[in-house]
Amino acid sequence: MMDDAQLIGRFLESKDSGAFGALVERHVGMVYRTALRLVAGDAHRAEDVAQSVFTLLARKADSLRGYASIAGWLYEATRRIARDVRRSEERRRRREKGAFVMSEYLDDGAGAKVGAGGDGASVDWEAVRPVLDEALGELSVAEREAVLLRFFGGKGFGEIGAALRLSEDAARMRTSRALEKLRGLLERRGVKSTSAALGVALAGDAAMGAPVGLAAMVSQGALAGVASGGAGVALGFGAVGFMSVIKTVGVVAVAGVATFFAVKEISAKRDTEAVLAGVKAEYAMLLGKAEEAERALKLAEQEAARRAEEKAAAAAAFAKAEKEKPKEDPVALGDALMAKHPEVKTALIAQYRAGVVLKYLPFYRELKLTAEQRAQFEEIQLSNEIPGISLDDGRISLRIPRKLKSAERNQKLKELLGDEGYKALGQFEQEAGVRAEAERTAALLFDGGASVTQEQGKALAKLFGRERGAPGMTATQYWEKIRAEASRFLSTEQLSVLSVKQLQAEAAWANQQAAKRSLRK
């Protein structure tokens, strides 16, 4: 047996009305029963909805190529068309204010309870019918397709699996889960049952099928509708089209014609001129609403444009004000902060004193200065270099100390240290960079688990002081020379850690050279 995709393919490629008729025969029962529930049991309206659904299928068949099962698509189309028919009928009743008499609802015979027993072992179909399609609409597409094929299409799990491209066991599991989810959705709407009882109720309603001969009538009507331009589709989708393109006056006219077809069954009970007058009144009302909506849309667009302009102008004004705002001197702000908060200045001086002690500690040891001499030395240094702070956009940063005249400082240092000590201080300060490099190297060796002894540290300092690097020497050449000299007093493990320092220096040197080349360009 061909699946839905094969039948659609034959219908499109060969204009095979038999293939289309087979599609209708396969699904008309599900479509009709769904429509019957949604139009409150009105058999004639359910037939009209079914006709519109299959006419739409004939028109949209090309977009459904490859669908192994179109049950889900047909179900959704039935819901939409029935909803629009129901809304049209409700509008008509409100307009006529009860002047028309509703046609007699047909009893579909499904009102009896299916199953037996209590506590959810049976289902009151009259309670299920009004909320079933709303609950079905909350299932996912895959879940709804499985329920429709199993309980409305009467398919076995093997057939469901083939249609949904699943194994038989996977189809069985998906159907079971979907049924249980549907049972939960119905329970939230006040309908309690077991999954088994719900399945029996769904299958029982579907088994009633469509009226004899409806499939042939629908198939012929759908094909005829496509051939004549598909006017019958307007019955279900006129209102939806109107809402989606409300500014198109022509669609409003379609909505008016849809209203006429919705009341055709009872037009014989009224004078023809009265019915036409009602249709014209509704058409005028819809046209007025369309024009009103278009005016409201234009006003909303104008308001949105005005607000966008105001926002852009405000942003531009703010940016201009920020740009023109005078920027305060960070140094002056720092001085003002220290004046207002003396404790900040005290803490800053303490920090700077600690830096002096750390910097000159090796010098203290070399000259064997007493504690009193160290204190005098630090006071001389602090009197010459005054630390300060800068405030820039709320950020605090230490600024370079301001240098005072050094003549008095130098004289005081000579008096404190003597000529030889003062000369040693000059030499110590000249070698500060060398010592720093040696200290960083010693720290690297320590972090690498190959710490140096005091004698090795002194040897490193002398090495860095002696090997300054000749002009034009690359970083690689310089560090190869350092490694060769250091191999005399460092171990193999220490030299391997020192190679990391070499790699860092070579990378930094290469970056500097690249930056210089870029600046030349």
| Residue pair 145/71 in contact by the 8 Å Cβ criterion | yes
As a whole number of angstroms, the distance between CA 158 and CA 170 comes to 10
State the pLDDT at residue 55. Answer: 92
Residue with tokens 């006056």: 249
State the pLDDT at residue 103. Answer: 32
Where are the chain's structural domains?
A: 4-236, 330-430, 443-520
| Residue pair 44/6 in contact by the 8 Å Cβ criterion | no
* pTM (two decimals): 0.31
As a whole number of angstroms, the distance between CA 364 and CA 361 comes to 5
As a whole number of angstroms, the distance between CA 100 and CA 266 comes to 8
Residue with tokens 């688990």: 449
| Residue pair 185/132 in contact by the 8 Å Cβ criterion | no
**Residue 482 has which token pair?**
């350092």
As a whole number of angstroms, the distance between CA 35 and CA 54 comes to 12
Cα–Cα–Cα angle for 508, 510, 516, rounded to 5 degrees: 105
State the pLDDT at residue 289. Answer: 78
Which pLDDT tens digits describe the chain residue by residue (521 residues)?
788 888 888 888 888 888 888 889 888 888 998 988 888 888 888 898 999 999 999 888 888 887 878 889 999 999 999 999 888 888 877 766 544 332 332 233 333 333 434 444 566 777 777 888 888 889 998 888 888 888 888 888 988 988 888 898 899 999 999 999 988 998 888 888 887 778 777 777 665 656 656 666 766 666 665 655 544 444 444 433 333 333 333 433 334 444 444 444 444 455 566 556 666 676 777 878 788 888 888 889 888 998 998 889 898 888 887 777 666 777 777 778 778 888 877 887 777 778 778 778 888 888 888 999 888 888 887 776 666 666 665 566 555 454 545 677 788 888 888 888 888 888 777 666 666 677 777 777 777 677 778 788 778 777 776 666 566 778 788 888 888 888 888 888 888 887 887 888 788 888 877 777 776 66
As a whole number of angstroms, the distance between CA 226 and CA 331 comes to 85
Strands in 288-409 per DSSP E:
385-392, 395-403
**Residue 231 has which token pair?**
């006017």
As a whole number of angstroms, the distance between CA 122 and CA 193 comes to 6
Neighbours of 394 (CB within 10 A): 6
| Residue pair 132/117 in contact by the 8 Å Cβ criterion | no
SS3 assignment, position 312: helix
| Three-state SS letters, 148-198 | HHHHHCCCCHHHHHHHHCCCHHHHHHHHHHHHHHHHHHHHCCCCCCCHHHH
As a whole number of angstroms, the distance between CA 189 and CA 134 comes to 10
| Residue pair 65/8 in contact by the 8 Å Cβ criterion | yes
As a whole number of angstroms, the distance between CA 151 and CA 183 comes to 14
State the pLDDT at residue 458. Answer: 78
State the pLDDT at residue 255. Answer: 40
As a whole number of angstroms, the distance between CA 283 and CA 264 comes to 16
As a whole number of angstroms, the distance between CA 230 and CA 222 comes to 8
350 backbone dihedrals φ, ψ, rounded to 5°: -65, -40
As a whole number of angstroms, the distance between CA 372 and CA 267 comes to 120
State the pLDDT at residue 175. Answer: 92
Cα–Cα–Cα angle for 119, 120, 126, rounded to 5 degrees: 125
| Three-state SS letters, 412-442 | HHHHHHHHHHHHHHHHHHHCHHHHHHHHHHH
Residue 51: its H or E element:
helix 43-60
**Residue 296 has which token pair?**
């409201």
State the pLDDT at residue 355. Answer: 78
As a whole number of angstroms, the distance between CA 38 and CA 131 comes to 9
State the pLDDT at residue 118. Answer: 43
Task: Enumerate residues 6+ apart whose C-beta is below 8 A from 433.
Answer: none
State the pLDDT at residue 107. Answer: 33
